[in-house]
Amino acid sequence: MENETSAIALEARDLTKIYRMGTVEVRALRGVDVELREGELVVLLGPSGSGKSTLLNILGGLDTPSSGTVIFRGRELALDSERALNLYRRNHVGFVFQFYNLIPSLTARENVSLVTEIARDPMPPPEALAMVGLAERMDHFPAQLSGGEQQRVAIARAIAKRPDLLLCDEPTGALDSKTGILVLDAILRINRELGTTTALITHNAVIAEIANRVLYFADGRIVETRRNAVQRAPAELAW
Ligand code: ADP
Ligand code: MG
């Protein structure tokens, strides 16, 4: 279980990110410092365009900053090495996005197997699918599943390699509240039972109540950090 004195799993120092398009410059991150402690569930909350996805992508090795450092379990990532970033992503990071990106011609179990075949210490796909409440749906194809179920398959796929970090970018963004709650339940269960350090992006303040800690974004900066006195269960939420 996380607490304020758990070891730091991931930290980033003074991150900046400038996107250049012709003569136009967009400053997506303007000096961000962040720490994720082992086992913590952190929500990144802020309006559209405030830099949340840019930060998450950098933390997960999908993108690199214009300046700054990322340190995973005490070791600085070699941000200039595509090979080092590939290994970091493959061995340590599970990503979940708003859209599920499942392969339509493969069943739920086969979608998860694609990842476990190349992982070092994978979970059997049925076990990963059971963790997200889909034990009975393993042999269904994506088109036979609801949006929320497809997202839970995507979560099973992300955790089947037993990542140290689970990074979720608006995982309920395309779902209604009732379905979204089941997706958040699955994420919370993984965080608690596997101890996976989790960061979750939302622009919905209600969803932030499931977090241990909330980072508030505005205009490329973290403008406030707050620890939730009470971590609310997804079932108590509605949006
Ligand atoms: P959020 O996830 O909070 O909505 P983003 O990190 O996606 O914010 O975007 C932050 C800023 O960077 C926005 O102004 C966005 O338009 C810009 N941006 C994001 N990705 C790119 C990109 N690939 N090229 C150019 N600008 C980008
Ligand atoms: Mg975003």
Angle between helices 147-159 and 177-193 (to 10 degrees): 20
Q: Taking the CA atoms of 135, 138, 140 and 142 in sequence, report the sign of the dihedral they define.
A: positive
pLDDT band with cut points at 50, 70 and 90 for residue 118: confident
Please tell me the distance from the alpha carbon of residue 149 to that of residue 141, in angstroms, as a whole number. Answer: 11
Residue nearest to atom 27 of ligand 1 (CA): 19
Q: Average pLDDT of 225-234? A: 95
Provide the ipTM.
0.99
Please, what are the domains in the chain?
A: 39-65+78-236 (3.40.50.300)
Between 209 and 239, residue with greater pLDDT: 209
For a mutational test of ligand 1's pocket, the pick from 21, 23, 26, i.e. the residue with the most ligand atoms closer than 8 A to its C-beta, is 26
Angle between helices 147-159 and 108-116 (to 10 degrees): 20
Alpha helical stretches, state H, 41-198 = 52-59, 82-92, 108-116, 125-131, 147-159, 177-193
Q: What is the pLDDT of residue 138?
A: 97
Q: Which of 58, 94, 95 is nearest to 79 (CA)?
A: 58
Q: Is the pLDDT of residue 1 over 60?
A: no
Q: If DSSP codes are grouped into helix, strand and coil, which group holds residue 198?
A: strand
pLDDT band with cut points at 50, 70 and 90 for residue 239: confident
Please tell me the distance from the alpha carbon of residue 152 to that of residue 189, in angstroms, as a whole number. Answer: 12
Q: From the CB of 116, is ligand 1 less than 6 Å away? A: no
Q: From the CB of 17, is ligand 1 less than 6 Å away? A: no
pLDDT in tens, 158-193: 999 999 999 999 999 999 999 999 999 999 999 999
What is the pairing mode between strands 67-72 and 8-21? Answer: antiparallel
